[in-house]
Structure 1
Amino acid sequence: MALGTIFQHDTTDPLAVITAPSPNESPEEKAAREEREAEARGISDLIDEELRAERAVRKKEEGMVKILLLGQGESGKSTTLKNFRMRFARDKWIEERASWRAVILLNLVRSANTILHALSQEMDDEQFGLDDAFTFDDYYRRYRLRLSPLLQGVESNLKRLLGAQPEEIEPQKQTHPITLSPRTSPEFFVRSRTWRNFLQTTRGPEVSGCSLEQDLPDIIDSTEAIANCKDDIKTLWRNDIVQAMLAKRRIRLEDSASFFLDAIDRLSVRDYEPTDEDVLRARLRTLDIQEHELRVDDDADAPKWKIYDVGGSRTQRHAWLPYFDKVNAVIFLAPISCFDERLIEDSRVNRLEDSLILWRAICSSKLLSRTILILFLNKIDILEEKIRDGIMVNRFLPSYGHRPNETSEVVKYLRQKFKDTVRHCSPEPRTCHIYTTSVTDTKTTAVTLISVRDGVLRGYLKQADLF
């Protein structure tokens, strides 16, 4: 009998000779070999399946417009994404709206607690006159006692409900006294995956297998605790001495703090349901990358959009680079109201200066040389408030010189600064679309988004040689 017949392989193939079973193979060795071969085939099949899935994803994304939302922390990226979803994914937005109730209550409670912490530090530092000392000692200590439920239980309960780990719930419990920077207490955050799971389990039984009913008792308990304290919170928030103390200590509450504190009567009722504006102003910092698919055009043949919201703090910016590949457009958020503010991560750096440095890096990137650039000069409403209050721009921005301290002039000056950066730093000539925005204003932002959509789609078709 020929050797090739015995081994059932081609003897002219050296690899076949090497991998052929031994002619003296025992039944046990054969079983072990066949088990190894089956395991190898399983691994090979798994790899093939993963490759097919990856090719399917790539094929799907080939016909998709990829958008990056970039900017420093608190620039308005998440609010811009909410506007996109509210405008172009309305059904899902409405499904998730009730889930934001816990976040909104947490925003409210954290603002009140920040004021309490500031009062506590003011009393400890004894940086006030005798009359003021009597007022603080006799009057505000009573409020601290009355509002103690906010400090002791409500904030922790809401954080736990949103999926925080035990070590993330009580970061203020330290052996040394709390020191407040010109900012709120350390910002609370959740993981993106944890937040997505929370959204899915609080949309109601018709949407998922879980129900809002399982979390409702905790939310109701927190709401009732806030309702019991609401008159004291309002008195404290509206007190002129407290406002003067916050200004003196340069305590910067969240941009939405006044909105929620002023709306406490509406938010602290048992059957409260979040509105679009409530959700838009609610702040929840999520780690990791958030991504959402949207259909921004009624035409079924129009490409879908995939929008990525990447973190803006310095510790998160290293994650930006992988998302630069094959991106169609970058929407960069530059908060122009922050000319008098410092970075949370580094109090030596002016926030507006940091925005310009980031913008220069985006414009200079060769990976983004053919990417459509869209710039939102954001928070125009807060800029107007600051100028109305008499804050001089040139005190914090010497290059502004003796130009009029007026909103329109400041916007004109900064628009030119950002436009010059595009012209001087881009690897090749490009167009940049610039909008002055207040992304918490849903009506004007909706108009802006339509303009952005049309501009991006024109650029996308042009890049695809279909224009």
Structure 2
Amino acid sequence: MFRSSDHDPLAAAIAPPKNESPAARAARLRAEAEARRVSDEIDEQLKLDRVARRRQRPCVKVLLLGQSESGKSTTLKNFQLQYARETWLEERSSWRAIIQLNLIRSIVTLLDLISEALATTSPFDTSPPPLTEKHRLLRLRLAPLRGVQQDLQRRLGAAAVEESTDPGPGGVLPRPSEFAVRSRDGWRSALERFRTRPQDAQENARAADARVRKAAEVTGVVVGCAEDMRALWEDSAVQEMLRRKKIRMEEEPGFFLDDIERIATKDYEPSDNDVIRARLRTLGVQEYSFWVEQGGHEWLMYDVGGTRSSRAHWYPYFDDMDAIIFLAPISSFDERLREDRRVNRLEDTYMLWQTLCSLQMLSKTQIILFLNKCDLLEQKLRAGVRVRTHVPSFGDRSNEVETVKKYFQSHFKEIARQHSPEQRRYYVHLTSVIDTRSTAATLRTVEDGILRNSLRRADLL
């Protein structure tokens, strides 16, 4: 008689033993029933766990990396604008003081440059731009802004902390020192010091009134200096001085000198774009939470300091991230690191990207590259800055915008290909993160990709 177990190894392995006694058969059946019961319980628990995980949804963790001033904080603000609109609107008016501080900082930088020029110019030297009595008068009339700057920084809990190994010609830094808030404070704590809520007034009316009066005083000084600030910035001799020193203030973070007429008013309210452009540097690591309604997921985003001394704090965050967004400011091909003037910023970014791609512990982590500050890149190229002067490997390629972008994109791709422990998909976006509209479209694409990858890792897809 034909038996399937004679030809099927699996059937033969699970077939009852030959000449099995009734007692042995009963014991075997009881063991099989118990095994089925345990297996069914395990299957049911796994099903319940899967349902619970689907209900809870995994927390999506994203780390923002890149050198200082690469656009990490601006990218974070874009995520907040896109996915945490209610919180964004609550905080937006509080950015007024920071935007005023950005504006004042730029004016004080111009005043310092004028003071230096007036102190070092010889009466017989005709080469520098002609700084006259008008500039001395503007310097005196704008002096109150220094006190306002110090007061705002004190209220923010800010400290001008910069690393530099080379102060540059004449002992003056090509770029002004920056204010920053410590990691224990961050944006939220800093902004709280400028917010006035109804419940604050109920709980402590005196403190709320003092906050309002202080804000009115600051605004009053800024408004009173508006005409002189505009005259200083638009002055032809000042513009010539900046040109000769090769200082492009319009490329600095927190640049608002072209918006003096709009910002220096009593009823000024920050726009979304103003907040995106505002500069408030944080020292250390900041964690921000967003609830993305589409899909019902909580996102935790980590913004870390990008200066060389801050990079040692990156490593502990590498082993628990769903994705890393690396920001590479490709407009910086002709710039030097603020903390070490001997190092080209683009070369430093290449080095960081190579290190990131080569880490074995990140071989399974989704890495997304933002080639950022394309708007500033276009401005430089239109102004006649030649890439090959600063990047010898660019060779004789055309200095056209699209050619330059394509070159940088292929170079980063080649670094990833050569140094990744395992070949991975290459995600790259050409961005200008101060452009909220185009960045919103990019973020939607990034969000979908990160979320799918996160669900796949959590075994939900």
TM-score, shorter chain, exceeding 0.5: yes
1:87–1:213 CA distance, 2 compared to 1 (3 A): farther
1:457–1:236 CA distance, 2 compared to 1 (3 A): same
Structure 2 gap ranges (5+): 1-54, 162-168
- Asked whether 1:70 is paired with 2:60, we answer no
Alpha-carbon distance in structure 1 between the residues aligned to 2:336 and 2:216: 37
1:449–1:128 CA distance, 2 compared to 1 (3 A): farther
* 1:148 partner letter: A
Structure 2 counterparts to residues 57-456 of structure 1, below 5 A:
63-126=58-121, 130=125, 135-151=130-146, 153-164=147-158, 179-184=171-176, 186-195=177-186, 196-206=188-198, 213-253=209-249, 255=251, 259-300=255-296, 303-456=297-450
User: What is the RMSD computed on CA atoms of the aligned residues?
Assistant: 2.7
Question: Which deviates more from structure 2 when the two are superposed, residues 239-248 or residues 402-411?
Answer: 239-248
1:163: how far off? 2.1
1:136–1:307 CA distance, 2 compared to 1 (3 A): same
* 1:451 partner letter: T
Equivalent pair of 1:95/1:203 in contact (CA under 8 Å) = no
- Residues 206-227 of structure 1 deviation map (CA, whole Å, 9 limit, x = unaligned): 5766676432222221221122
1:133–1:456 CA distance, 2 compared to 1 (3 A): closer
Alpha-carbon distance in structure 1 between the residues aligned to 2:426 and 2:124: 54
* 1:67 partner letter: V
Alpha-carbon distance in structure 2 between the residues aligned to 1:206 and 1:423: 56
Alpha-carbon distance in structure 1 between the residues aligned to 2:292 and 2:57: 17
**SS class of match (1:69):** strand
Question: Which deviates more from structure 2 when the two are superposed, residues 237-246 or residues 428-437?
Answer: 237-246
Alpha-carbon distance in structure 1 between the residues aligned to 2:355 and 2:265: 47
1:118: how far off? 0.9
**SS class of match (1:416):** helix
* 1:138 partner letter: E
Alpha-carbon distance in structure 2 between the residues aligned to 1:428 and 1:437: 27
Equivalent pair of 2:336/2:343 in contact (CA under 8 Å) = yes
1:251: how far off? 2.8
Alpha-carbon distance in structure 2 between the residues aligned to 1:435 and 1:134: 42
- Residues 241-278 of structure 1 deviation map (CA, whole Å, 9 limit, x = unaligned): 21121122233436356851111122122222111111
Alpha-carbon distance in structure 2 between the residues aligned to 1:201 and 1:456: 35
1:182: how far off? 1.5
1:452: how far off? 0.1
1:286: how far off? 1.2
TM-score (norm 1): 0.80
1:133–1:202 CA distance, 2 compared to 1 (3 A): closer
> Runs of at least 4 residues of structure 1 off by over 4 A?
127-134, 206-213, 256-259
1:287–1:61 CA distance, 2 compared to 1 (3 A): farther
Alpha-carbon distance in structure 2 between the residues aligned to 1:61 and 1:439: 32
**SS class of match (1:66):** strand
1:427: how far off? 0.9
1:158: how far off? 1.1
1:133: how far off? 6.9
1:418–1:182 CA distance, 2 compared to 1 (3 A): same
**SS class of match (2:282):** strand
1:296: how far off? 2.4
Structure 1 gap ranges (5+): 1-59, 170-176
Q: Which has the larger radius of gyration?
A: 2
1:240: how far off? 2.3
How many percent of aligned residue pairs carry the same amino acid? Answer: 47
1:200–1:110 CA distance, 2 compared to 1 (3 A): closer
* 1:235 partner letter: A
1:462–1:133 CA distance, 2 compared to 1 (3 A): closer
